[in-house]
Chains A and B, each alone.
Chain A
Amino acid sequence: MAADLRAIDEAAAQWVQRMALPVQDSATAAAFDRWILDDPRHVDSYARMVQLWQSDGLRQALAANDVPDSAATALGPRGAPHRLWRSAALLVPAMAAAMLLLIVAPPLLRDPVRHGAPPGAMRVVALADGSRVNLAPGARIAVRMTPWSRDVTLERGQAFFDVAHERMRGFAVDGGQARVRVLGTAFDIDRMEGEAVVRVYRGSVSVAAGAGRQWRLSAGSGIALRGGNATTIDGITGSRPDWADGWFDANNTPIRQLIAHLNRGAATPIRLADPMLGELQVTGRFRLSDPEDALAAVAAIHDLNLRRDARGLVLSR
């Protein structure tokens, strides 16, 4: 057993030496990977050996033994060049590290895979794990899949996630104000300026809003996060949000939200003559593909004017 460990230590020491070279041939590289993955004790020994080899303690001990007379064999000239060596020795490990970084660093921070829907059109994306994402017009997500994690960032807009259930691998969506974690479920997340709304259609999710604030939502419920405020939403029905079928479902919803959604798909932008109008509330179903029709209904409810100018549609008092 002890002899066994000794052999592992010697092999580890050999690998520390070989892998310190800036370039290895592919056979050596493959042999190293095989050796490391072959036995956990190899990792242990290698880690300790790297530590030992690089330690300043060993360097100090060797320096104390570096006395010209004590050498068993004839050595080259010492003195000035030797001191040069000494200071160079401090630099070499740093240089070796820098070289390795030069070789491998540039692609390290490559972006994850991005999907987006163009303005004015919805898009359905099938992810590698079998999950499906409906992207609202103008929405964009960044997806990072690994064998142990599924991470999505909703960079902007709104998306409906129908997540393939996996027992071991979670699925997380970062929607700015809200971070949603699930195993397998269906939920909608709407990212707006300083605001996020999450609605759950199947299963359950955990929503974190930072600073330790966390909620567990089950199917039929939701939450709206705006600044420090959280408002729960209930009465969510159906298997997916209306917008996925081209509808916006408003329930005492501020007009600004309806307009934000209409603008995602609209060829002609909509604006409010007075920002205060945005706080007026509406209830009802609005067809996203026909902004003018939706706005006409809003104008009728609140007795507002709808007109068209060179820049688009304007809602005013």
Chain B
Amino acid sequence: MDDDARDWIAIRRAVVRYAQHRAGRADIAEDIAQEVLTRLMQVAETEQIGSIMALAFRIADNLLVDTYRRERRFDSDLDTEWQSDAPSPDRVLDSRSAVMVFQRCLRSMPPLRREVLVRRRLHQQACRDIAEALSLTPEAVEKHITRGLADLRRAMARAGVAIEDMA
């Protein structure tokens, strides 16, 4: 481990933050980060990791799903209506009011941008295929997606759908 130049402390800090956002609560973020880092370091000992942060976030996502499943099992007597494997902020984004906000925002976008988003997210088409079908360059497709997502984010923030407050 001595020859490892990675800044594990900074990596850990980022994972805690990420887990806080994804979980929507602080109490499990530290535990999740601890487990993520332990696993990361085990992998790092033997494997070449492309993106350590991508792997870290992926492990955190999986652990969060596990955590919610476990907690749901414990709570199953109390709460049968609200059963979902998704962490709570995800449920916020799936709510009826969030869908309304998204729809309004999508309607106000240029139709081409909306079409790119529909093809990419809903139909899971590759950027290259979208570019071909719509006579765009792949760079333009990427621009449409990133701008579209930033618009959706801002729309959520304006509507006060509370994903920021939970972090």
Contact = CB atoms under 8 A, between A and B. Distances in A.
Secondary structure of the B contact surface, majority rule = helix
Interface string B53-85: 111011100100000000000000000000000
Chain A interface, >50% SS class: helix
Interface string B100-135: 001100110011101101101111100100000111
A302 B129 CA distance: 89
Interface string A26-69: 10111011001100100110111111111111111111111000
Contacts of B153: 9, 13, 48-49, 52
B117 to A, nearest CB: 6
A280 interface: no
B112 A73 contact: yes
Interface residues of B, number: 75
Contacts of A63: 122
A75 B132 CA distance: 11
Interface string B5-45: 00111111110011001100000000000100111011101
Interface stretch (A102-110, A249-257, A264-272): A102-110
Contacts of A1: none
A303 interface: no
A16 B102 CA distance: 18
Contact of A13 (B2, B94, B115, B149): B149
Which 10 A-B pairs rank lowest in CB-CB distance, beginning with the nearest? Answer: A61-B102, A47-B21, A29-B51, A72-B111, A55-B93, A13-B149, A29-B50, A13-B146, A57-B98, A9-B150
23 contacts: A13-B146, A13-B147, A17-B142, A19-B54, A29-B51, A40-B17, A44-B17, A47-B18, A47-B21, A48-B163, A51-B21, A51-B22, A51-B89, A55-B94, A56-B93, A57-B93, A65-B107, A72-B115, A73-B112, A144-B38, A146-B41, A148-B12, A148-B34
Interface of A: 6, 9-11, 13-14, 16-17, 19, 24, 26, 28-30, 32-33, 36-37, 40, 43-44, 46-66, 70-73, 75-76, 85-86, 88-89, 92, 97, 100-101, 104, 107-110, 128, 144-149
